[in-house]
Homo-oligomer: A and B are copies of this chain.
Amino acid sequence: MYDELREEVCKANLKLKEQGLVIYSWGNVSGIDRPNGVVAIKPSGISYNELMADKIVLLDLEGKILKGDLHPSSDTPTHLELYRQFEGIGGVCHTHSIYATIWAQACREIPCLGTTHADNYYGSIPLTEELQDSEIRSDYELNTGKVIVRRFKDLDPLKQPAVLAANHGPFTWGKSPGKAVENAVVLEQVAKMAFGTLLLNPDQKPILQALLDKHFLRKHGTDAYYGQTRQE
């Protein structure tokens, strides 16, 4: 029961390590079975070497554990809030990858400075507000989810599938756990390129709207013509 989901979530977590985005037990990926409202997530503090599908924890959308002997990731309440509020997403990923975290720590949004960015994110990578003392002291992880959702009030999470939690690091998501991880890998590249671009030219402006439209929509629009599946 939900073996396939656990397998998929396990594999997505292991990708984080393979791609060099995490060390030790850092980072976590989850996935959701939407029809049944069941979320699968990495257990807390388990190193990637020991991770197997049957250690993945199953919960409902309110956080009740359905299956699993281990504690779920301490970031679980953040993931659940994102699943409750962002209807179209099927996977969530959190890392402390170096360059995305640099931007989060610098409390700066990542402007769209080139087509690598535009191919994947329809606009700048948003930054959350800083949490207030009271939001940190109780229900911290839930409030991390809420501050992300507030930031997306006027944004479409499927077109901008990444956020920088201020002073913390990136959360990404996607249609599936694997896609959430891919968005984390690409974000790290984009973050490194934007970092270098502004060191070289501090006044560099974001690209033209037409160029952003072109690159994002040739991959993700209804008339997409990148790749092998297209409307013809």
Contact = CB atoms under 8 A, between A and B. Distances in A.
Interface of A: 23-25, 43-46, 70-71, 74, 96, 98-99, 101-108, 113-116, 130-131, 133, 136-137, 140, 167-169, 182, 185-186, 189, 192-201, 204, 207-208, 210-211, 214, 218, 225-228, 230
Contacts of A102: 193, 196-197, 200
A45 B214 contact: no
Contacts of A182: 24
A131 to B, nearest CB: 7
Contact of A168 (B115, B196, B210): B115
A102 B195 CA distance: 9
A193 B99 CA distance: 7
Given A71-B227, A185-B23, A197 B98 contact: no
Given A136-B208, A228-B71, A114 B104 contact: yes
Nearest to A69: B228
A116 to B, nearest CB: 5
Contacts of A185: 23-24
B210 A136 contact: yes
Contacts of A46: 228
B116 A226 contact: no
A224 to B, nearest CB: 10
Contacts of A98: 189, 192-193, 196
Given A105-B204, A196-B98, A226 B45 contact: yes
Contacts of A24: 182, 185-186
A189 B226 contact: no
Contacts of A194: 105
A46 to B, nearest CB: 7
Nearest to A200: B106
